[in-house]
Structure formats: C-alpha cells, structure tokens
Amino acid sequence: MVPNTLWKIFKNRRYRTLSCLIFTVFFICIVFHNSKLLVKLKNFFAGDVVDFTIAENVTGFSYAIVPNVVHYVHFDRTDLNFIQVVSIKAVYLNHKPEKILIHCNCYSLRGKYWDMVKNISILEVSFMKKPTHIFEKLLSSVYHSSDIARLEILMKYGGIFLDTDTYVIKSLNYYRKFEMTLGWPPAQNLGTQLLIAHKNARFLKLWYNSYRYYRRERWYYNAGELPTQFILEPMPYLVHRVPYDFGVHNLVHLLYGTHSDEWKNYHAIHLLVRHKNYLLPGDIVEEFNENNIKQYNKTFGDMARLVLYGSTDII
C-alpha cells in the first residue's frame, strides 16, 4: 500500500511539474513571438515608457506621458531681455506648467527683466555647462551650443522645450500624450522652437547621433535640414507632426506688419524678433521694451500687453 501511495504522489507531482513546464515554455514562445506583448511587459515592469517600438504618433497614448515641465536654455548672460520675459509670462499664464526651468551656465540671474518674473513660484534657474563640442568637434556658436543642450535636456528629463522667443498661446497638454511632437510645416524643415518629448523618444537619440556629421559652417544643417531629410522624411512615424499650429513658419508679417486676431488660432508662435528687422524693414520699433510695447499697434503689441498687463488695449 505504501509504495503505491508514494507512487501516486510522485506521479501527480510529476504531472504538475510537467504542466508548469509546458505552460512556461508556451508563455515564453508567445511573448517572444509577439513583440507588442514583449514591449508592453518591458514598459510595465520599468514603470515608464522605455520602448516606443509599437508607439503610434497619430492618436498617441490615452494619457499624458511627457512631464509638464518647460525648459529654456540661456547661455553666457546673467540677465534676461524683454522678449524672454514675454515668453516666460505667456507659457506660465497660458499653459500652466508644473515647473519652468531656465538652464544656464550661471547659478542665478539678475537685472530689471529678471525682477519682472523672479516671483513666479515655479520658475527656477538650473546650472548647465554650455556644450562646446559634439563628438569631439568644436561647436561654432552659442546657438549651436543651444541646439545640443535642448536635445541633452530632453533626453535627460523629457518635457517641453521652448526657444526664448516662442510665445505660447494655448495649453499644450493635448500634445503631452505623444512620444514626441514638433512643428514641421509642409515642404519645410522641422522647427526647433517648440519641442515636446518623452525622454526616451526615438527621434531624440537619432537626432543627437546625427551630429556625428556636424557641419559648423551651416547655420541650420544639423538642427533642421539633416534630421528632416535623412530621419523624419524616411520615418515620419517617429513624431507627431504639427504643420502650422506651433507657428514655426514665417509669421513676421502677421506679428509686425499688421494688426490681427489671427494669432489666437495658434497654440504657439515663434516671434522671430532677431530676424524681423531684415524680414520686415521699416517697422517703427527696432527693439521692444516695456515702454514702447504699450502703444505698439501691431499684432505683437496685443500679445505682449495681454501677458504683461492683462489686456490687449493700447495703454
């Protein structure tokens, strides 16, 4: 009796072990033959999206995956200018981020324009060493240093990167559900003035690595031409493309050549202040400040007064 009983116990255990083994092998086969399931499991156990292989950037995720943090880069100066104040005020009031970081190769800022924004509780200065080289190649200007810095910042933190002359008009929260979002007008190169990205976005890494082919003499080659033509055009699925709504195309006439409410139709607009005097010569104001903006009767006057004084009215 005893040997038979022991045999039955052994037999049952053997079958249970065999069943578990078969199930495990079957499960592993399913996982490794179903890349979607594998990616989902990888992301689940990581507690974040670490693999965007199966991501699609048309409708995006069902929830926000990009941190609600705004990043600026500000190198080689310890003060701000008037346009930077307008940009900071606009994103603070119109988008309402959780935090605004000014990445600067300094530890603090000063001056009358810093005084206009320093009491914004979510605004911080974050020290960052200015990039001087990329893949052992010397960068030719502070603007190229900024191009590198924005990619490094987004790959480290994720969030919303703004040029300091970008004016945010509406909340950008809708775009936080995509792997990466940028302005990319038809038949043009991408715009770097507003970038919204998860830190693990595939395009960020490809874009950064494309600087192995850095051409220091070309102003927008590595920032716009190369990544558009050699990465995004062959693989447009890497980003959520915004043709016009980010205002990265030339809107200089709308801003400084007329008075119109059309600006309210955009989510953001690149103000082009460093370019307006040659793109639209003859404007009555060459450099804006807190005084001449009060009676500036073009579109940009309305935009600036709204975030500075709470009304578009001439003062």
Query: Residue 171: which residues within 8 A CB-CB, separation 6 or more?
Result: 94, 95, 96
Torsion of CA 138, 144, 149, 152, to 10 degrees: -70
CA 161-165-166 angle, to 5 degrees, is: 55
Torsion of CA 220, 198, 88, 162, to 10 degrees: 10
Q: pLDDT tens, 293-311?
A: 999 999 999 999 999 999 9
Q: pLDDT tens, 160-181?
A: 999 999 999 999 999 999 999 9
Among 99, 179, 192, 109, smallest CA distance to 148 is for 192
pTM of the model: 0.87
Cα–Cα distance measured from residue 295 to residue 38, given in angstroms and rounded to the nearest whole number: 60
Q: Residue range 58-74: average pLDDT?
A: 97
Q: How many CB atoms lie within 10 A of CB 42?
A: 13
Q: Residue range 224-250: average pLDDT?
A: 98
Q: How confident is the model at residue 6 (pLDDT cuts 50, 70, 90)?
A: very low
Q: Show the 3-state SS of 118-187.
A: CCCCCEEEEECCCCCEECCEECCCHHHHHHHHHHHHHHHHCEEEECCCEEECCCCHHHHHCCEEEECCCC
**Which range is most confident: 22-26, 110-114, 275-279?**
110-114
pLDDT at 7: 44
pLDDT over 60 (residue 107): yes
- Residue 191 has what DSSP assignment? P
Cα–Cα distance measured from residue 76 to residue 82, given in angstroms and rounded to the nearest whole number: 17
Tokens of 57: 């950037």
Residue with tokens 């022991």: 6
pLDDT over 90 (residue 93): yes
pLDDT at 42: 53
- Backbone φ, ψ for residue 275 (5° rounding): -115, -10
